[in-house]
A and B are shown apart, each in its own frame.
Chain A
């Protein structure tokens, strides 16, 4: 087969261009730290990258949400703690009033203590967190416990019975606490009713009423303690969720690195090889003989 010089030159040129492209590719990988720099480098990896980054964003958001709701749950839990203390105090005041040995004045003083505890309890039931009432159900901009002459306890619940849930994991939600109606004025366990009744009983001095009042307060106290456990449990759950999410973030990021990251050692080797090939090609090209028979004709 005839070989003419133009073939040789065009082959050399095209190989040099291919070599240069390979060097460029290796340099791009080395400088970006990624083996996938455009979609066409690895289309399947690029598609998976979209999903992976969406998952990472989701996990970050869940962590953030958990942080946010922990604040309000902690505030509510702490308020309930105080309510439990107050009600325990009320029981002890009631017990003091029982026994039938106290004077009217002393009884009045004790009744006043109960009234103060009741006011405290109302305040606690109206606890806010960042401007929202935490025991109002979903009507968080309206004070839940208000004075009302039409209510036998003098306090009416103005909230509703709904609660919010928040997503803290893939398909995983937690309920954000309870409506006040379940804690403070549940049927048969109304905190304010029980305190009003106890105060009245103490004022009256009637031993039976006082005993009955103490029992009522105790019942409402037990209810508060029982309902409060949800808050503690939820907070604990959120802590453990938070830890899991941190772990999941690491896993997802590792997956991403595997997907598109460049293996440093491999990249360095590729770059070195590509450069060597290019230099060899250039050297070969420069050595191609320009001789022909023409040079030797005399």
Chain B
């Protein structure tokens, strides 16, 4: 049989539920532009029925849940995309700096000084006794050595910047993992008291996205609502309420990254940090290539110089042209300098006479000899430069593609989780109508109740 009070309570419960739904809608509208906000949807559930005799009476509605609408798969995909984007961006930034050191398209780099050096030798061959031509050879040699020094120091500076950026990035990573661990705790608490931790989950996702931009992470959801984060190579970053800080330390002149005491640098990838490490490896290889050129060219010149005679007819056996590191190519570009101090020391002569140019002709001819890793100096440098350009070009293309991918993922995420004002407005109308209807029911019950109360009274 129903009863009026029961009906009233159903109506007033409905009012509560609709009020709640309106509040959720209002919250969505307010947060329409909040970054990382996932729209919330009110979930209505009917109250359990009550059976009287063989009639089941529904007991109204309750707002059982406020559900945050998000797609975890999309979110993970977006985090992956951000990791790659972060890495490519920071890698490209460093490479662009390297490229500007050798921008032969604008005449910057080694080609000019190399050509000038060989030209000065050719010039001397036309008049070996001429002191200003001899001085010009020494000057051209100094200019060439300087160019090597500067290029090498430019590369070293980029490396230094990277080694400074790595600890800074690690600090940021540690701050984020700390915050994520904290939120893990808060979410665990909220879930155990069966509250909906929507805001916390959104916050955590934002933090993980930021973290992804900094380093490559794997994201594993645990059953208690927390996430476990590790680097892509498995080093633990966050587990439950605990975060594990990364540290940095100096290893053979480079800053390496450590997790719980072991050096994880070699396997780190993704994000800005991955980009820095990739750039550092690339620049190290570029530096080696430069050193090879300086060392091989310098050594060939030295060998030929020492095979000749100086202006005074003395064999130039212990008068090398360039100073080079004794141990090998490493550091050659940074250290190369002209060893000769006097123009008369240039070993132009091949027979001990002042006017012979046989040796300086041979020196000039080194330009056409395959003295650098089986290539002429010019060919070697040409490949060196093309390699750098190709690397930058490929990374630039990668960056463009990845930006599009990330954007698409963000759009997809917004499509699922973003607030649509049209939709919320429609919801407003819907809940307002329901509220009005419920209120109207209350009104009518009120009237009926009054009637019922005055039933017994009569005139």
Give A60 to B123 CA distance when docked, in angstroms.
11
Neighbouring B residues of A138 by C-beta, 8 Å: 349, 351, 353-357
- With an 8 A cutoff between CB atoms, is B421 at the interface? yes
- With an 8 A cutoff between CB atoms, is A297 at the interface? yes
| Cβ B105 vs Cβ A38 within 8 A | yes
Give A41 to B422 CA distance when docked, in angstroms.
46
The number of residues on chain B lying at the interface, defined by a beta carbon within 8 Å of a beta carbon of chain A, is 70
Neighbouring B residues of A4 by C-beta, 8 Å: 414-415, 418-420
A68 to B, closest residue via Cβ: B126
Picked from A7, A43, A53, A260, the residue with its CB within 8 Å of the CB of B115 is A53
| Cβ A47 vs Cβ B386 within 8 A | yes
Residues facing B in A117-163 (CB within 8 A) are: 130-132, 136-141, 160, 162
| Cβ B414 vs Cβ A47 within 8 A | no
Interface string of B393-407 (1 = CB under 8 A from A): 100100000010001
| Cβ B355 vs Cβ A54 within 8 A | no
A48 to B, closest residue via Cβ: B382
| Cβ B358 vs Cβ A164 within 8 A | yes
Residues facing A in B88-133 (CB within 8 A) are: 99-100, 102-106, 111-112, 114-116, 118-119, 122-123, 125-130
Band of interface residues on A: 35 or more
| Cβ A43 vs Cβ B393 within 8 A | yes
B429 to A, closest residue via Cβ: A297
Picked from B99, B127, B368, B396, the residue with its CB within 8 Å of the CB of A132 is B127
| Cβ B357 vs Cβ A42 within 8 A | no
Picked from A34, A68, A167, the residue with its CB within 8 Å of the CB of B105 is A34
- With an 8 A cutoff between CB atoms, is B252 at the interface? no
- With an 8 A cutoff between CB atoms, is A1 at the interface? yes
A-B contact pairs, 10 of them (CB 8 A): A3-B415, A7-B411, A38-B105, A39-B102, A49-B104, A51-B382, A60-B119, A62-B122, A64-B123, A132-B355
Measured CB to CB, the residues of B under 8 A from A are: 29, 32-33, 99-100, 102-106, 111-112, 114-116, 118-119, 122-123, 125-130, 349, 351, 353-358, 361, 364-365, 367-368, 378-379, 381-383, 385-390, 392-393, 396, 403, 407, 410-411, 414-416, 418-426, 428-429
Measured CB to CB, the residues of A under 8 A from B are: 1-7, 10-11, 14, 34, 36-44, 46-51, 53-54, 57-58, 60-62, 64-65, 68-69, 130-132, 136-141, 160, 162, 164-167, 171, 173, 260, 292-294, 296-297
11 more contacts with CB within 8 A, not counting A139-B353, A293-B421, are: A10-B410, A46-B385, A47-B386, A60-B119, A61-B122, A65-B125, A68-B127, A132-B127, A138-B353, A139-B354, A292-B421
The 4 closest A-B CB pairs, nearest first, are A39-B389, A43-B389, A140-B355, A47-B386
